[in-house]
């Protein structure tokens, strides 16, 4: 890319260091709703929950609302407590956000609680203790790939 190769340092993904930090204490030691507020019903999440994060596909941003609506209805039907995180700001995020708001207002789901964000270590603890991660977030590949499968980083 035109950079002097001697000045390029390969470092990897810094968030993996955070995954390593919670290896010693990955217990969910906070109440997500109490600490972060969010929007939605008070979930009975302590016996298990799903984390959902779906971002618009930038090459299909015009279909973002359709894509998110399908996922929302599937998770509503699954009927597990679900912590849902808002999408990133890529092309199509307006459609994704609109789909979430419309679903939330019209369907008033009893098994969803919505968050904008969390502190990184809290978020990783939430993921580590989830029954599943649903969606297309890269966190499923980067951070969670070091997860419950028994890797040296996440046990």
Strand, coil or helix: what is 38? coil
Average pLDDT, the chain: 83
Q: Which residue has the higher pLDDT, 3 or 23?
A: 3
At 129-150, the pLDDT tens digits run 999 889 887 676 566 665 544 4
Token pair, residue 154, equals 């996440």
At 72-85, the pLDDT tens digits run 999 999 999 999 99
At 31-63, the pLDDT tens digits run 999 999 999 999 999 999 999 998 878 787 788
Give the separation between CA 141 and CA 136, rounded to whole angstroms: 9
H/E stretch holding 132: strand 132-135
The whole-number average pLDDT for the span 90-109 is 88
> What's the predicted TM-score (pTM) here?
0.80
- Please tell me the predicted confidence (pLDDT) of residue 155: 42
Domains of the chain: 31-146 (3.40.50.2000)
- Please tell me the predicted confidence (pLDDT) of residue 146: 56
The whole-number average pLDDT for the span 98-102 is 90
Per-residue DSSP letters for 119-151?
A: -HHHHHHHHHT-SEEEE--GGGTTTGGGSTTT-
């Amino acid at each position: 890319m035109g950079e002097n190769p001697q000045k390029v340092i390969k470092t990897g993904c810094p968030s993996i260091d955070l995954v390593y930090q919670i290896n010693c204490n990955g217990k969910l030691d906070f109440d997500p709703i109490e600490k972060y507020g969010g929007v939605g019903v008070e979930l009975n999440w302590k016996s298990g929950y799903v984390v959902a994060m779906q971002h618009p596909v930038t090459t299909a941003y015009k279909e973002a609302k359709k894509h998110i609506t399908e996922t929302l209805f599937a998770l509503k039907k699954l009927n597990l407590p679900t912590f849902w995180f808002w999408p990133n700001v890529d092309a199509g995020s307006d459609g994704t956000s609109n789909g979430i708001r419309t679903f939330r207002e019209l369907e008033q789901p009893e098994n969803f609680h919505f968050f904008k964000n969390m502190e990184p270590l809290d978020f990783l603890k939430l993921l580590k203790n989830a029954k599943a991660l649903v969606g297309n977030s890269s966190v499923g590949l980067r951070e969670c790939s070091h997860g419950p499968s028994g890797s040296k980083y996440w046990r």
